[in-house]
Structure 1
Amino acid sequence: MQDWQEHLIIAPILLPLITAALLLLYDERRRVLKAAISIAATFVLFVVAIMLVNMANTPDDRVLPYLLGNWPAPYAIVLVLDRFSAMMVLLTSILGLAALCFALARWHKAGSHFHTLFQLLLMGLNGAFLTGDLFNLFVFFEVLLAASYGLVLHGSGATRVKAGLHYIAVNLAASSLFLIGVSMIYGVTGTLNMADLAQRIPNVPADDLMFLQAGGAILGTAFLVKAGAWPLNFWLPTTYTAAAAPVAALFAIMSKVGIYVLLRLSLLFFGELTPRTTGFGDAGLFYIGLATITFGLIGVLASQALGRIAGYSVLVSSGTLLAAIGTGNVAVTGSALFYMISSTLTIAAFFLLIELVERGQDAAANVLAVTIEAYGDEEEEEEEEVGTVLPATLAILGACFAVSAILLIGLPPFSGFVAKISLLSALFNPAGMGTDAPISAASWAYVTLIILSGVSALIAMSRSGIRTFWASMEGNVPRVLIIELVPVAGLLFLCLALTIQAAPVMRYLDATAQALHRPHNYIDHVLDAKRSAGFEPAAASTPAAKGDAQ
C-alpha cells in the first residue's frame, strides 16, 4: 500500500470533480448551500496544494508518479508531481480561492451553475499541470475549455456573448491543432507518455524526424494560442475585459497553461537528451515573445479603459515568459518562474480591483474625461474646496490601485521589481558569475522591451489613476463589501510576501529550473515507478492470466 500522502496527488483532480457533481444535485435557488460547499472544497484544495509543494520540495528533486489503474508506465495513465507541477497547482488554488470569495458578493447569483463550472475549471487546470501524457493533457485541456466557455458567458450581455463566441471559435481551432500535432507525434514514436517520448525521440529514424518536428510545431502553435502569443492573441484582451471580474481573475492562470506546456515539453522533447533536435523552436519562441511584448506594451499605452490595460498586461506577461523559454538559459528560466508567479497574482488582483473602482463610475463621464484630457476644457473650472476629505472606501481602493501599479511597472519594494531585476541579472550574466561572456544583441533587445513595458505601464496606470482617484468627474463612492476587498488585499499581500521571502522562493524556483533543464530524474522516476503491491490490474483476472498463474 502506498503512503497515504502519495494519494494526495490525485486529490486536486478528484476534489473539484466530486464537488462539481455534488453541486448539480442542488437546485439553483439553494445558492447559500452551493456557495458553502464550493468555498469549503476550494479551501481544502488550497491546503492539499500546500502539502503537495512540501512533498515535492526535497533536496533530491523528488518526482512522484501516480499510476492510475496500477499499470506501469508508459501503459498507465500517469500523474506526475514535481516542483513545477506542485507550484502551478498551488498558484491555481490561490487564485481559485480569491476569485470565489470575490464572486460570493454577487457574481455567483448572476447565472446558472456558476459553482459547478468554476470547480470543473479548477479540475481541468490541475489535471493539465499534473498529467504525464499528451492524451490526458488533451482531455484536461478540453475540460477546462468547456468550463471556461460557460464562465465567459456568465452574467449574459451582448458584449460577453460576442467576446465569448470569438473565444470559443479560436479555442476550437486550437484544439484541432492540438489533435493534429499529437497524432503526428504518436505516428512517429508510438507513445504519448511524456517520459517515454523523451526516451524514444533520440531514436526516431532520420526519415521521420521531419514529421516529428512538424508535429511538435503544430502542437506548440496550439499552446501559443492559449498563451496569447502574437499574432494569435487578438481575442484575449477583449475576452478577458468582457468576462466577469472573478472569471477574468481566474483566467489569469489559464494563459499560463500554454506557458507551462511549452516549457515542460520543449525541455523534455527538444532538450539536452535529444542531440539532433536540441533547441528546436527556441529561436522562434524567443522572437515571438519579443513581438508579443511589443504588441502588449503598445496596447497598454493605447488603452483608456482599465480592463483593456489589464488584458494587454496579460500579453506583456506571456511575451516575457515566452522569450525567457526561448533563451534556453537555466538561470533565466528560474527568474521567469518568479516573474510568472508575481505577474499572475498581480493581474488577478487588478482584474478584481477594476470592478470595484469602476462600480461608482459612469461610462459617459469616462468618455467625456478622455475628451477633455485630449482637447482641453474651454470652460472655467470652479475652485474646489481645499482639504476635502477623501472617503475611506476610495482611499483603500486608491492604495490597492497604487500597489497594483507598482507591481505592473516593476518598482520596489514589491515582487515585480525582484522578478525583473532577477531576469535582467540572468540576461546580463548568461554564463554565470565571474565570467566575461558577451551579451548578445537579442538579449539587449529583450532587456529593452522589459524596461519599455514597465515605462508603458507607468504611463498608463498614472493616467488612469489620476483620472479615477484624483480628478474624477463624478463624486459617487462605490459600495464595496469586505468580502470583495479581502481577496484583492490578500493577493497583493502575497506579492509583498514574495519580496520578503524572495530568497527561499528563488531557491525553490532555481531548483525547479535545474530539474526542467536536466530531465533525467523526471524520466527515470516515471518509467521506473513501481506498481502498488496487493492490487492487480483488471487484465490479471483473464483466463490467459489465470492459466499462466497455474
Structure 2
Amino acid sequence: MSLHWTQHLILVPVILPLLAGAALVPLTQGWHRLKFWLSYASILGLVANALALIHMTDGGAWQDGMGIYLAANWSAPFGIALLADRLSSIMLLLTALLGLASLHFSKQRWGRIGVHFHALFQFLLMGINGAFLTHDLFNLFVFFEVMLAASYGLVLHGYNAERIRASMQYIAINLAAALLFLLGLALIYATTGTLNMADVAGRVPLLAGDDLALFKIGATMMALTFLTKSAMWPLGFWLPTTYAAASPPVAAMLVLMTKVGAYVVLRLWLLIFSDDAGAAAGFGQDALLYGGMATIVFGAAGMLSTDTAGRMAGYAAIISSGTLLAVIGYGQPNLVTAGIYYLIGSTLAVAAFLLLIELIDRIRTPRSAMLALTMEAYAVEDAPVEPVGRGVPAVMAFLSLAFAACALMIAGLPPLPGFIAKFGMFHAVLHPQVVATAANGVMTGPTTIPTAGWVLIALIVLSGLIAVISMMRFGVRTFWASGVLVPPKLHRTEVMPIIFLLGLAIGMTIQANALFGYLARASDAIHRPATYIGRVLSEPTLPGPASSPAPTINLTPEAP
C-alpha cells in the first residue's frame, strides 16, 4: 500500500507559496521583474492545483468527496490532518484567482515599492490556504498567525501617515483576537483532550456539567477571533479604516481574509454544534443570526453615511459578512448553498471595486470633488450646451462601465451574481427545507417561515437599496458633477485584473446552474458531520517498509 500521488495535491497550496516566499526573501530591490514572475508562476500553480482538487473532490476520485493528507503519517487525532473537500477546494480556487488579479495589478507600481512585497504576498497565500485545508484547531491558529503576520507588513506597504495609523489599529485588534484564540484552545483541549476537529465533534456529545460549560466558554472565546476577522458588529469597527488606507492590491486580499473568518465559523459550527452534538446542539446559532442582522444594519448605515470610496467598499464588505453570518445562524442547508454563492460573488465585486478606486481617483482631483459637493448642496444646474461631436474617451467609458458593473454586483441588482445569490436566499427562506436527522431518521425542520426569516429578507433588500443610493451618489459626483474630466493614463496591467474579476462574475451568472449544483453538494457534505467525522478518524496510515529476515549465524563447529 502506498500514498497515491493525487493526495499530495492537498499539500501543494501550503508548500508552493511557502517555497516561493522563501526563494523571494533574499532577492533585493533591483530584481523586480524576476520577483514578479516567480510570484506569478507560483499563483498560476495554485490555480491549476485548485482546479485539480475540484475535479478530485467532485469527480468521485475520493471517497465521500474528501481527500485527507496525514502529515508525517500520524493517524488522526494524534497527527495533523489536512482535508480537501468541495467547499475548501472552491475557496482555494477563489484565493488563487483573486491573488492572481491582485498581483497583476501591482506589477507596475505597488510591487516595486519595498523589498519584500512579493514574499509577504506568498506567505499571505500560504496562511489563507492553510486555514482552508487544516483539520486541527492548533494548526488553524498557526495558519491564522502566518496570514496575519504577512498582512501586517502588507497593510503597511507603501506607508504614509494614514496607513500607519490604520495598521496600528489593525495589528492591535488582531493581536487581542489571537490571545482570545489561544485561551479558547486551552479550554477546549482541557475539556475534550484533543484539538482535531473531527475528534472534538465526536467528544462534544459526551460532555456534561462543568466540562460542557467550560467547552462553551472556550468555543465562544475562539469564535470571537473569527467574528472579529469577519467584522461582525460591534467587532468590525476596524475594517472600513483599514480598507480605505491599504494599497489597492492589499485591500483586495483583505476582502478575502474577512471571508476566511466566516468560512471557519461555517465549518466549525456545522461540525461541532450539529444536531448530533447532544446538549451542545445549536449552540450560538441565535447569536450568529441576530449578530449577522445587526452587522447588516451597521454596514448599511455606514455605507449611507460616507462619501469616501474606500470606506464605502469597507462597509459593503461588512454587509456581505453580516449576510453570511446570518445565513449560517439561520440553520438551513439550502440557504447555506445560496450563501456560499453570495460569498464568492461579493468577494469578486468588492475586490474589483477596490482595485477600480485607484483608477477613478486619478480623475477625482480635490477641485473636482469640491465642485461636485458644492453643486449637490446648492442644487446648481448645468446649462445645456450643444454637442460638439466628441465621443466618450475609451478610458472614461471603461471606468464608468466597470463602476456600473461593480455597483450592480454590490447592490445585488440583475443580471449579475449578487441578484442571483439574493434571489436564491429569498427562495430558501420562503421555502423552508425539511431534513432528516442522522440519529433517528425523523424528519425535522421549520414548516412555517419564522419572523427572523422575514426580518432577514427585509434587511437584505434594504441594504441593497442603500448600496444603490450610495453607489449612485458616488458615481454622479465622480462622472457627472465634476466638470470637465481629463481621461487618466491607465496601464494594461491595471485594467486587465478588473476586467478579469468582472469576467469571472459574468461567468458565475452564465454558469449559475452548474455552480449552484456544485455548491449544493458542498453544502450537503458539510451538513453530514457523522460522515465527516468517520472519514477523518478512519483514514489509515501507510505501513512501514517490510522488515527483511535477520541473517542466521551458524555456531556449530564444522567437522574437521
Q: Deviations over 1:256-276 (max 9, x none)?
A: 111011111111111122021
Identity of aligned residues (%): 47
* One-letter amino acid of the counterpart of residue 44, structure 1: G
Deviation at 1:111, TM superposition (A): 2.0
Partner of residue 40, structure 1: 41
Partner of residue 207, structure 1: 210
Partner of residue 469, structure 2: 459
Tell me: CA distance 1:384–1:245, structure 2 relative to 1, closer, same or farther (3 Å): farther
Deviation at 1:207, TM superposition (A): 2.6
The question of whether the paired residues in 1 share the 8 Å contact of 2:371 and 2:481 is answered with no
Partner of residue 548, structure 1: none
Cα distance in 2 for residues equivalent to 1:14 and 1:364? 49
Partner of residue 413, structure 2: 411
- Are residues 1:16 and 2:17 paired? yes
Secondary structure of the 1:66 match is strand
When the two chains are superposed, the root-mean-square deviation of aligned CA atoms in Å is: 1.7
Q: Deviations over 1:275-308 (max 9, x none)?
A: 2111100000000000000010111111212111
The one of 389, 393, 411 equivalent to 1:391 is: 393
Deviation at 1:535, TM superposition (A): 6.2
Cα distance in 1 for residues equivalent to 2:214 and 2:187? 7
- Are residues 1:105 and 2:108 paired? yes
Deviation at 1:83, TM superposition (A): 1.1
Deviation at 1:383, TM superposition (A): 4.9
- Are residues 1:443 and 2:453 paired? yes
Partner of residue 87, structure 1: 90
* One-letter amino acid of the counterpart of residue 451, structure 2: A
Q: Please list, as runs of the form range in 1=range in 2, the aligned pairs for 1:244-393 lying within 5 A after superposition.
A: 244-377=247-380, 383-386=384-387, 387-393=389-395
Secondary structure of the 2:402 match is helix
Q: Deviations over 1:28-71 (max 9, x none)?
A: 21111111111111111111111111111145631111011101
* One-letter amino acid of the counterpart of residue 503, structure 2: F
Partner of residue 491, structure 1: 501
Q: Please list, as runs of the form range in 1=range in 2, the aligned pairs for 1:500-539 lying within 5 A after superposition.
A: 500-534=510-544
Cα distance in 2 for residues equivalent to 1:381 and 1:492? 33
Contiguous gaps of at least 5 residues in structure 2: 436-444, 548-560
The one of 75, 78, 82 equivalent to 1:75 is: 78
* One-letter amino acid of the counterpart of residue 475, structure 1: L
Tell me: CA distance 1:432–1:391, structure 2 relative to 1, closer, same or farther (3 Å): farther
Cα distance in 1 for residues equivalent to 2:33 and 2:210? 61
Q: Deviations over 1:497-522 (max 9, x none)?
A: 11111111111111111111111222
Cα distance in 2 for residues equivalent to 1:3 and 1:182? 33
Tell me: CA distance 1:447–1:149, structure 2 relative to 1, closer, same or farther (3 Å): same
* One-letter amino acid of the counterpart of residue 509, structure 2: T
The question of whether the paired residues in 2 share the 8 Å contact of 1:63 and 1:521 is answered with no
Q: Give the structure-1-normalised TM-score.
A: 0.94
The question of whether the paired residues in 1 share the 8 Å contact of 2:417 and 2:505 is answered with yes
Partner of residue 550, structure 2: none
Secondary structure of the 2:70 match is strand
Q: Deviations over 1:132-158 (max 9, x none)?
A: 100000000000000000000111111
Deviation at 1:242, TM superposition (A): 0.7
The question of whether the paired residues in 1 share the 8 Å contact of 2:434 and 2:446 is answered with no
Partner of residue 237, structure 1: 240
* One-letter amino acid of the counterpart of residue 319, structure 2: V
Partner of residue 424, structure 1: 426
Cα distance in 1 for residues equivalent to 2:9 and 2:353? 32
- Are residues 1:135 and 2:145 paired? no
Deviation at 1:534, TM superposition (A): 3.9
* One-letter amino acid of the counterpart of residue 110, structure 2: W
Secondary structure of the 1:455 match is helix
Aligned length: 534
Secondary structure of the 1:69 match is helix
Cα distance in 2 for residues equivalent to 1:371 and 1:190? 65
The question of whether the paired residues in 1 share the 8 Å contact of 2:28 and 2:115 is answered with no
Cα distance in 2 for residues equivalent to 1:523 and 1:211? 23
Deviation at 1:353, TM superposition (A): 0.8
Cα distance in 2 for residues equivalent to 1:526 and 1:436? 31
Deviation at 1:432, TM superposition (A): 5.6
Cα distance in 2 for residues equivalent to 1:123 and 1:363? 40
Secondary structure of the 2:307 match is coil
Cα distance in 2 for residues equivalent to 1:535 and 1:90? 36
Q: Deviations over 1:336-380 (max 9, x none)?
A: 001001101111111111111112321343134223312334xx8
The question of whether the paired residues in 2 share the 8 Å contact of 1:195 and 1:522 is answered with yes
Which range moves more in the overlay, 143-152 or 477-486? 477-486
Cα distance in 2 for residues equivalent to 1:187 and 1:169? 28
Secondary structure of the 1:276 match is helix
Deviation at 1:85, TM superposition (A): 1.0
* One-letter amino acid of the counterpart of residue 137, structure 2: L
- Are residues 1:475 and 2:477 paired? no
The question of whether the paired residues in 1 share the 8 Å contact of 2:333 and 2:433 is answered with no
The question of whether the paired residues in 2 share the 8 Å contact of 1:2 and 1:532 is answered with yes
Tell me: CA distance 1:383–1:503, structure 2 relative to 1, closer, same or farther (3 Å): closer
Cα distance in 1 for residues equivalent to 2:370 and 2:182? 45
Cα distance in 1 for residues equivalent to 2:44 and 2:210? 52
The question of whether the paired residues in 2 share the 8 Å contact of 1:272 and 1:517 is answered with no
* One-letter amino acid of the counterpart of residue 433, structure 2: A
Q: Deviations over 1:91-139 (max 9, x none)?
A: 1001000100001121111222000000000000000000010000000
* One-letter amino acid of the counterpart of residue 291, structure 2: I
The question of whether the paired residues in 2 share the 8 Å contact of 1:128 and 1:257 is answered with yes
Deviation at 1:2, TM superposition (A): 1.3
Partner of residue 551, structure 2: none
Cα distance in 2 for residues equivalent to 1:523 and 1:453? 38
Secondary structure of the 1:497 match is helix
Contiguous gaps of at least 5 residues in structure 1: 541-550
* One-letter amino acid of the counterpart of residue 266, structure 1: W
Cα distance in 1 for residues equivalent to 2:545 and 2:313? 50
Cα distance in 2 for residues equivalent to 1:100 and 1:499? 25
Compare CA radii of gyration and give the structure with the larger one. Answer: 2
Cα distance in 1 for residues equivalent to 2:494 and 2:213? 53
Which range moves more in the overlay, 184-193 or 108-117? 108-117
* One-letter amino acid of the counterpart of residue 431, structure 2: N
Cα distance in 1 for residues equivalent to 2:420 and 2:64? 25
Secondary structure of the 2:82 match is strand
